[in-house]
Amino acid sequence: MKLDGTTNEARDILSNRLVTGAVFWLPAIALVASGFLDIGQGWRTAVWIVALTTMGAGCIVNALRCGRVHCYATGPFFLIMAMVALLYGLDLVQLGKHGWNLIAATVLVGAIALYWLPEVFFGRYRPGR
């Protein structure tokens, strides 16, 4: 419990469905939709950068707010993947003709692993937060 009487869970943005939807599910839906829509490389790059940055920033804010363990890993991961999307979208990194699929698979597997594994080993919240 915090000095102000709130619990980690009460401060966890993942306990609020509306915020979770806006910060995590809408960007995830945008990522998936951009794969099915016939949009250009520039628009796809922009969608991926905004979506991944939104999710990464949301995780970092949540880690600072409530000490949610997986957010310490997923926040930087999503921001790094936003940089990869930017570099690929600008043709500064060559990932082949299926580069977006490679980035998507990395985001999917990484997000699942980094969401689940840290909390299995270290618990849901950092002690003393």
**What is the predicted pLDDT for the residue at 56?**
98
Task: Calculate mean pLDDT across residues 81-85.
Answer: 98
Residue 3 pLDDT > 80: no
Strand partners of residue 68: 125
Residue 21 pLDDT > 60: yes
pTM for the structure as a whole: 0.89
User: Residue 116 to residues 43, 55, 64, 96, 103: CA-CA distances in angstroms?
Assistant: 31, 16, 19, 30, 20
Tens digits of residue pLDDT in 31-80: 999 988 889 999 999 999 999 999 999 999 999 999 999 999 999 999 99
**What is the predicted pLDDT for the residue at 38?**
86
Phi, psi of 68 (to 5 degrees): -60, 120
Residue 129 pLDDT > 80: no
128: confidence class by pLDDT, cuts 50, 70, 90? low
